[in-house]
Structure 1
């Protein structure tokens, strides 16, 4: 089954480790066999991986982009995903199990996709915590 990708102008994708950038026009590609593919917008810079969920996402991304280290990373990814399970409630925690299943099947892109809602949820939680700390500092300064 072929995979059709529509690329926006100047959009980057990585196919089997090769970085490809689209020209100034919208283009469609058809990938006719299995390949490791990830869009540039889905890539996380190492410096951005500063939270527990983003760290796991970065390891999965590394496994996708670097086949030579996959066998070493899979146990690390599973261990880190297992650490996240007790932190999140069932509704959002289902994404962790989905990601772990995809990692076991070596479908790293789907594992990354499964973690995206968790990254957004984690960001909201961290923003709320940051807001509470800022409120506490303002209250302490006012006293």
Structure 2
């Protein structure tokens, strides 16, 4: 089954490691066979990978973009995902197991997609912690 992608004007997409940028108009691409594909909006810059979940996401992204390092990174990703399990409650933690299953199946884009809700949840937790620290500092 073919994959249809509609690209916004000037949107980036990476196909098998090749960065492609759309022109000024909306375009549709049809990918007829299997390829490693990720949209530019789904990419995380290395300097943004400063939290445990974003770090794992970045490693998964690296597997998607660089097939030559997959064999090295997959065990690291599984180990880092396992470290996250006791941190998150069962409802949100299911995304960790989903990501691990996708990594095992070498479906790295789906693994990244599985971690997105966890990244959002982690950000909310970190914002709450920062808010409490700011309150404590202000009270002193």
TM tier relative to shorter chain: over 0.9
Q: What's the TM-score once normalised by structure 2's chain length?
A: 1.00
Match of 2:89 in 1: 89
Q: Distance in 1 between matches of 2:11 and 2:135?
A: 40
Q: What's the TM-score once normalised by structure 1's chain length?
A: 0.98
| Structure 1 residue ranges without an equivalent (≥5) | none
Q: Distance in 1 between matches of 2:116 and 2:89?
A: 16
Q: Secondary structure at the match of 2:25?
A: coil
Match of 2:7 in 1: 7
- TM superposition shift of 1:15: 0.2
Structure 1 runs (4+) greater than 4 angstroms displaced: none
Q: Distance in 2 between matches of 1:18 and 1:63?
A: 14
Q: Secondary structure at the match of 2:86?
A: helix
Q: Distance in 2 between matches of 1:111 and 1:47?
A: 20
Q: Secondary structure at the match of 1:86?
A: coil
Q: Secondary structure at the match of 1:47?
A: helix
Match of 1:45 in 2: 45
| Structure 2 residue ranges without an equivalent (≥5) | none
Q: Secondary structure at the match of 1:25?
A: coil
RMSD value over aligned CA atoms? 0.3
- TM superposition shift of 1:28: 0.3
Q: Distance in 1 between matches of 2:60 and 2:35?
A: 16
Q: Distance in 2 between matches of 1:112 and 1:77?
A: 12
Equivalenced residue count is: 140
